[in-house]
Structure 1
Amino acid sequence: MAETEKSGNAFVETIKTIVYALLIAGVFRTIFFQPFWIPSGSMKETLLIGDFLFVNKVAYGYSYASCPSLRLQRFGIDVDAKDICGFFDGDNTRLFGGEPERGDVVVFRHPVSGRDYIKRLVGLPGDRVQMKAGVLNLNGRPVEVEDAGTFEEVMEPQGPQRIRPRCANGAVGDGGMCIKERQIETLPNDVQHTILNIGPQRVDDTGVYTVPEGHYFFIGDNRDNSLDSRVPAAANGVGFVPYENLIGRADRIMFSSAGRSMLFFWTWRGDRFFKAVQ
């Protein structure tokens, strides 16, 4: 009888330990850092498909978007942040709010779909943003752009979604070298980062976007392969992103895998472990 009681108590204690661990992990993810895998090439070469990072949630404070979403389509699980913390939504404010800076790489909730996106912040509230011949213009002035050679990668399926890159050197067969034009862009606050181009695109020339108060304008570093604020959300783009939709700032890559799974150790990119995001 005593052995049965001990077995029962051990089982209960194990369940308690698991529950406590999940609660601690949930609180940690909600308050401090959120893991994020890079699923697409919209931020190359700053971020590559398969990069894994922790998003700093402390940087901008907290809103309903700080609550984690849980989406496991294979198991039919789709719990959105609004399902948990939607009662905080609607006033476009944040608790312990910090202001993002131009040039930050930010994870945010899409204003319509609610999906998590990661892009570079280029337009602050009140800014006038325009693209002219592929060059970013802020408040009527082009940002400084300097040619920096090319970015080269092998044409092959990338990541779990098996995405193939787009190239400036035309159609390239599997195993060939895919080339993009590479430049260094310097924002008005002297933040420098690389951008990539493959040639003239529809979003290389836009009208003037005036960023509303309490909103931000985001663009991907891989300029010709990014769905971002250059296209309004109503037209299947991103448009202006409300302050409350910011989740956090990407500061450092913790791990990187070029393969379909992080378990394929032969595809790990050792030179990207703990690399700062610039």
Structure 2
Amino acid sequence: MRVKKIISDYIVPIVIAFILAMLIRQFIFYKVVVPTASMSPTIQVNDQLIVTKVYNRNSLKRGDIVVFNSKELNEELIKRLIGLPNDTISITESGKVYVNGKLSDQPYVVYNGGKGGTYKVPAGEYFFMGDNRVNSLDSRYWKNSYIQWSDIKGKARFIVYPFNRIGLLK
């Protein structure tokens, strides 16, 4: 009788909580730690972020901060979405970004610079840049400048640590 009570009072709730935690991480959201300064000042090195899974291509918008898998670098990266499928991205030597011929307002960029050029984003693929443009290994520098839809993992939504930086990402 005592063993049944222990199982029903302690073991079952722990197992249920564990299963729920695994399901939430697999299908809803997860946490990442930022390893580089490529998104500074928006995101700092060692910031911990909550990332929501992305299941619908239409939910991705220019300016979103996205977590994706880079097959070329064989690692998970966090960058800002600049180009959607079929966009033409032009970056001047001074760092101004034009999307389909229109100057893109990017108030989050403080450290501008780096490689310029023109990029035609293929259907089903995306173009990314870091906010710290002079210190970001992003689409401008990769052999294949684009990330496929299947490699996109989620949108970074909140900074949860350090506590003095807690808040929504913009």
Instruction: Place the TM-score, normalised by the shorter chain, in its bin.
Output: 0.7 to 0.9
Aligned residues: 169
What per-residue deviation string (whole Å, max 9, x for no partner) do you get for residues 83-112 of structure 1?
A: xxxxxxxxxxxxx55430011111111133
Among candidates 96, 100, 103, match of residue 135 of structure 1: 96
Which of 29, 34, 52 in structure 2 is aligned with 1:56? 52
Higher mean alpha-carbon deviation, 217-226 vs 246-255, is at 246-255
Q: 1:39, 1:225 → 2: CA distance?
A: 13
8 Å CA contact 2:57, 2:149 repeated in 1: no
Is the 2:109–2:133 Cα contact (8 Å) retained in structure 1?
no
Deviation at 1:138, TM superposition (A): 2.0
Q: Which sections of structure 2, spanning at least 5 residues, go unmatched?
A: none
Match of residue 124, structure 1, among 69, 76, 84 = 84
Find 1:40's aligned residue among 30, 36, 41.
36
Letter in 2 for 1:195: V
- Paired residue for 1:112? 72
Q: Tell me how far apart the structure 2 counterparts of residues 103 and 30 of structure 1 sit (CA, whole Å).
A: 25
* Separation of aligned partners in 1, 2:84 and 2:18: 37
The one-letter code of the counterpart of 1:277 is L
User: Which blocks of at least 5 consecutive residues in structure 1 are unaligned?
Assistant: 62-95, 144-185, 257-268
**Equivalent position SS for 1:36:** strand
TM-score (ref. length: structure 2): 0.84
The 5 A counterparts of 1:94-243 are: 97-133=57-93, 134-143=95-104, 186=105, 192-197=107-112, 201=114, 203=115, 205-206=116-117, 208-233=118-143, 239-243=145-149
Matched, 1:247 2:153: yes
Q: Sequence identity of aligned pairs in percent?
A: 32
Whether contact under 8 Å (1:55, 1:251) holds in the other structure is yes
Q: CA RMSD, aligned part only? A: 2.6
SS in 2 for 1:227: coil
- 2:168 matches 1:276: yes
